[in-house]
Structure 1
Amino acid sequence: MSTTLPIAGPGAMRSYVRTLVRRHPRLVWGALALHVCAALAALAAPRLLGGLVEAVETGTTLGHVDEVIALLAGALVLQTVLTRYARYVSQVLGEQVLAELREDFVGNALALPVGVVESAGSGDLLTRTSRDVEQLGWSVRWALPEWTIAVITAVLTFAAAVSVGWWVALPCVLGVPPLVIGLRWYLARAKDGYLRESASYSTINATLTETVEGARTVETLGLGRERIDTIDGDIAESYAAERYTLFLRTVFFPAMEISYLIPTVATLLFGGYLYTQGQVSLGDVTAATLYVQMLIDPVDRIVSILDELQMGAASLSRLLGVAQVPDDRQVSGETPDGEQLAAADVRFSYVEGRDVLHGIDLQVGVGERIAMVGPSGAGKSTLGRLLAGIHPPRTGSVTVGGVGLVELPLDDLRGHVALVTQEHHVFVGTLRENLALAAPPGATDDDIRESLDAVDALDWVDSLPDGLETVIGSGGRAVTAAQAQQIALARLVLADPHTLVLDEATSLIDPRAARHLERSLAAVLEGRTVIAIAHRLFSAHDADRVAVVEDGVISELGSHDELVAAGGSYAALWDSWNGRG
């Protein structure tokens, strides 16, 4: 069952913004100061022009006109210079904030419990990593600085307009009701609309990713039409979500246009009336009208950019929501006393009310090799993941040295128990870099080559044109599935944990090669505890004990010879494996 990752609320967003401001006080206040100075420089023009109109009315000289023009030019140059540096500082601040937010998001994403990632699927995380980061980047780099400039300019321009005379406030007030009504109507709907829009992109990405990854299965089972219908439904939902947000904008923006045009017309009419009554001068009417006219541009930008900020806020809430996934482990601070691995009355469920493990007890001796076998869907892999500390049990406990696996910090846990599955990943980079990910500090090329030799990979690595420096992964040299699995096993050798859980770790390798590889690994891992989950029963034959898992319980436990002699489920599997069934 798929789940959706959380979305941060307004409180968490405000807290994060405050944290960012505290990290960069000089840049924040420096940018604000420059924006204020730039806005103040822009306010000189209406005053100067109003004074010039009044001077022309009463009589003036050409020299005075030239002086006013020079002052206007100086104010314009000053405003341009201040605006340039204000935007530069804002851009620098935006880039730093965006970089930190990306780092925080990556850190939070990597800290997600594996079970949550598997349940949420790749589509949601992929959308947050790509589209949401891109949208937020646009908001932080451009929308937020421009909106800040617009707000500062609007506030100072209104103050300058009112300074001409109290009467200027009356026409401005006329634009407030439609502005407030429009904003309240829009803001009450916009965030949910944009969150729905982002969620629809996540669904599309999830469907596309699932279809591409399972392309062969889709083709084999003839599921093409079904997958097309599914993506069509996802696109229809996305279309509906985008159409809704477009509807919000088509209602909101015209209403705002009216709200900030009304004050300009009203100022001109009311000021003209007061002038005819002899209560104000022509210069005052000119300056007031120009100031109110100047309000149109910043108010228009405030309203327009508010739409971008709503999308940015929706993206930020999705990015911050990743940090709100509750941790599935509670570090106790206790130190394990030895490497004894034990499971006691373990029950586990992926879906509430439907356990897949039912009261399992298992004591694993230090240095013992246990093979887990059983039919598909019996719970072998699930038990292996609990024994590796990937999931916490619903009830019961899984401990190493008497300390619960989910009570250990992840770095400490991986020094005790590590899991290798048939799923693996080759990162973009050199082969050395791929292997060094798991190597302890100070590991040498000799250590890396020894790990490759341990997994029978040294021959093909030496045959590469650049050896360990060969670039692999997306865009680099392609490696086969079997080679990628050997790389994963070599990482395991370098990581050097005491206990290994191998879940079909050699399934992609030819059976004969796998047999040889497992024997090579056994020599390298001598003295370590190994729990091997496999369908190939030669692994069970070599193990100290075999655990047969059926229907979520361990139905048989003993050595290969004991279980064959018992004539139970394992004996039937062994006979079938050897062609005697």
Structure 2
Amino acid sequence: MRLPEADRAAVRAASMRLVREDRGAALVVLLLYGLAAAAGLGLPWLVGVLVNRVESGAGVSAVDRLVPAMAGFAVAQLILERSARYAGHRFGERALARLRERFVDRVLALPTAVVEHAGTGDLMTRTTNDVATVGVAMRDAIPEILISSVRALLVAGAAVLLDPVLGLCVLSGTPLIVLTGRWYLRRARTAYLAEGAASSELSEGLAATATGARTVSALRLGEQRVAIGDQAAVTGYHTRVRTLWLRTVLFTMTDVGRYLPVAVTLVVGGLRYHADAIPLGVVVTAALYANQLADPLDTVLERMERLQTAGAAMSRLTGVHGLPLPPAPDPRVPESDVLEVRAARFAYRPGHNVLSDVDLTVRPGERLAVVGPSGAGKTTLARLLAGIDAPDSGQVTVGGVPVATLPAEELRSRIVLVTQEHHVFLGTLRDNLAIAAPGPDDRHGDRHDDDAFRKALATVDAVWVAELPDGLDTVLGAGGIALDAAQEQQLALARVVLLDPHTVILDEATALLDPATARHAERALGAALHGRTVIAIAHRLRTARDADRIVVMRDGRITEVGTHPELVAANGAYAELWRAQTGTA
């Protein structure tokens, strides 16, 4: 499931909001560019005056008096344009920072399932390529389009005031540019949205292949993954060819519209000069205005291309705001630590139930194992118990309060899900531990929590910490120390100790480890789970044998509940699974 894209109205509203929030800076940018455009009109006019004086036989002193004024206009335009660009970049960077923060905040506020289904590639493309594209537009394209439009109007007005006939000649390329621009705009947004979607698809495929490289190798799926990547690359190639063709037509017509007015102005102006209708200086000034008009029009069309790319990117960034947020947190405090599931149903796709009419009560302090064949719904049940997903119907509650509606801080202080994947964030070991116990003072890793961090690491037998070169200040992840699978799990378990929840849900937390490492990890797991309610999703029945109760699932339903001896004696589905895994009669 790819994240949605916003329509034009939503994109305009979001863009205007960014401008309104920093309207003072936006006005300064417009003022500086406007003054720069006005200063740019002075030099062509003075050149025309200079030509007329030379033609009339004025002395050198008369000519020399114009030089300081010409230099003044040139310097003023240079300083004003430089100042405008500087102010525009500052305005754009501030707007870009707000846009990026809102996007990340919104994604983090979405239900976890929505973000997971969106995929890494789509999220990464939006937070990198799309943000960078919008940033270029905010810094350069939008200010320059506005100011180039003002500059074009000023130049056109000056040309008409200079001589109406030559003013029309200066504007002779405008209809061609306008028609080309309209043709381009009707096609560009759809083409650039398709290009962005193709980039997301390619990134998602590469990320999935890289993440599951071991699985791809083990199942000999290399050729299949390469074929999928090739297809995504071909699709991306065709979308880029489409946008390239649009740009080729746009820029070709821009070049024609750029030089046509200069040629027409010189021809018509020359004829009128020979007819003694206008002085030579007027022809020169009009030709310079025609050439000067080409620059802002060229800028408008060039930046319009960039603006279309940014519009598509903005549509993708704004699209996440159309997704529904989770329900408001329930202000009630759970009365107990009892987890209850009542008539719960859940489907990832409408009409395809993964869980059907599940009823279960987990008593505080109990060690419960959930077993069953692959696809039985065990992991889905774990996600519902952890509050990651909410049931489509029925209830999953803790102490009488729906788990999925608990505030984040309350939920993670009560229930924590530990899966096979343990993420190590880029940062120090202290940073990686501090995220499990954020507070007003320790969210930046203040040293007064170091004792708690070391105690948590010692609890899970993380003896490798003593060998780190900088202790808790050692940088982990890319560019730092890489942890092996067992160390990553111990780090995850240390976070559990710091969170101190009453219930821990284990979704085959040691399944990806080799047997020797798994045994060591299970000892650490036992220390971290001491005194807590434990719900273990188990594929290996030997790990479930010592549980207080065992829940057997099949086809999204609970079919058996009991202790290991009771279920073996019942000779049902569990007994069949036990015999198949252990080889006993």
Q: TM-score, normalised by structure 2?
A: 0.91
1:363 maps to 2:361: yes
Q: CA deviation at 1:29?
A: 1.1
SS at match of 2:424: coil
Looking at structure 1, the residues matched to 359 and 137 of structure 2 have their Cα atoms a distance apart, in angstroms, of 54
Q: Select which of 518, 525, 528 maps to 1:521.
A: 528
Q: Is the 8 A contact 1:329 1:392 kept in 2?
A: no
Corresponding residue for residue 187 of structure 2: 189
Aligned residue number for residue 552 of structure 1: 556
Tell me the distance in 1 between the aligned counterparts of 2:276 and 2:39.
Answer: 31
Q: Summarize the alignment of residues 108-507 of structure 1 with structure 2, pairs less than 5 Å apart.
A: 108-275=106-273, 280-441=278-439, 442=442, 444-457=449-462, 459-507=463-511
AA partner of residue 227 (structure 1): R
- What letter is aligned with 1:293? N
Q: Percent identity?
A: 47
Q: Paired residue for 1:563?
A: 567
Q: Secondary structure at the match of 2:65?
A: helix
- Any conservation in 2 of the 1:339–1:498 contact (CA below 8 Å)? yes
Cα distance, 1:538 vs. partner?
5.1
1: CA distance, partners of 2:404 / 2:129: 33
Q: Which whole-Å CA distance do the structure 2 matches of 1:284 and 1:252 have between them?
A: 32
Alignment counterpart, residue 532 of structure 1, candidates 529, 536, 541: 536
Deviation at 1:222, TM superposition (A): 2.7
- Quick one: which amino acid aligns to residue 520 of structure 1? A
Which stretch of structure 1 is more off in the superposition, 235-244 or 305-314?
305-314
The one-letter amino acid paired with 2:474 is T
1:41 aligns with 2:39: yes
Which position in structure 2 is the counterpart of 1:580?
584
Letter in 2 for 1:55: R
Q: Secondary structure at the match of 1:580?
A: coil
Q: Say if 2:505 and 2:535, in contact at 8 Å, map to a contact too.
A: yes
Instruction: Quote the offset at 1:341 in angstroms.
Output: 2.2
Tell whether the 8 Å contact from 1:121 to 1:206 is kept in structure 2 after alignment. Answer: yes
Change (3 A) 1:362 1:172: farther
CA contact (8 A) 2:490 2:524 kept: no
Q: Which runs of 5+ in 1 are unaligned?
A: none
Q: Is the 8 A contact 2:161 2:167 kept in 1?
A: no
> Can you list the C-alpha shifts for 1:522-578, whole angstroms capped at 9, x where unaligned?
32xx1x433221234455344332211111011112344443443322344445555
- The alignment of Structure 1 onto Structure 2 pairs a total of residues equal to 575
Offset, 1:404:
2.1
Q: Is the 8 A contact 2:504 2:529 kept in 1?
A: no
TM-score, length basis structure 1: 0.92
Please state whether the residue corresponding to 1:549 is helix, strand or coil: strand
Residue 326 of structure 1 aligns to a residue whose secondary structure is coil
C-alpha displacement at 1:112, in angstroms? 3.2
**How far apart in 1 are the matches of 2:150 and 2:411?**
53
Task: Report the secondary structure of 1:370's partner residue.
Answer: strand
Separation in 1 of the partners of 2:529 and 2:546? 10
- Name the CA distance, whole Å, in 2 between partners of 1:333 and 1:261: 69
Letter in 2 for 1:462: A
CA change 1:515–1:242 in 2 (3 A) is closer
The AA in structure 1 aligned to 2:187 is R
- The CA deviation at 1:237 is 1.2
Matches of 1:113 and 1:218 in 2, distance apart?
29
Contact 1:123–1:209 (CA under 8 A) maintained in structure 2: yes
Is the 8 Å Cα contact of residues 482 and 508 (structure 1) preserved in structure 2?
Answer: no
1:273 Cα deviation after fit: 5.0
Query: 1:449 is aligned with what amino acid?
Result: R
Query: 1:494 offset after TM fit, Å?
Result: 0.8
- CA contact 1:328–1:391 (8 Å) conserved in 2: no
Deviation at residue 330 of structure 1 after TM alignment: 4.2
The DSSP-based 3-state class of the residue aligned with 1:475 is: coil
Cα 1:298–1:270, aligned 2, differ >3 Å: closer, same or farther? same
Q: What displacement does 1:246 show?
A: 1.4
| Alignment pair present for 1:96 and 2:94 | yes
Q: Which residue in the other structure is 1:512 paired with?
A: 519
Distance in structure 1 (CA, Å) of the matches to 2:282 and 2:332:
77
2:445 maps to: none
Q: Distance in 1 between matches of 2:161 and 2:332?
A: 69
Q: CA deviation at 1:391?
A: 1.1
Quote the RMSD (CA, aligned, Å): 2.4
Equivalent pair of 2:32/2:83 in contact (CA under 8 Å): yes
Q: Which amino acid aligns with 1:130?
A: T
Q: Is 1:32 equivalent to 2:37 in the alignment? A: no
Query: For residues 540 and 225 of structure 1, what CA distance do their matches in structure 2 show?
Result: 38
Pair 1:71 & 2:73 matched: no
**What is the CA deviation profile of residues 13-54 of structure 1, one whole-angstrom value per residue up to 9, with x for unaligned ones?**
222222211222222111111111111111101221222233
Q: CA deviation at 1:143?
A: 3.5
Decide whether aligned partners of structure 1 residues 77 and 514 sit closer, same or farther in structure 2, where only a CA change above 3 A counts: closer
Contact 2:494 2:528 in 1 (8 A): no
The letter of the residue matching 2:460 is V
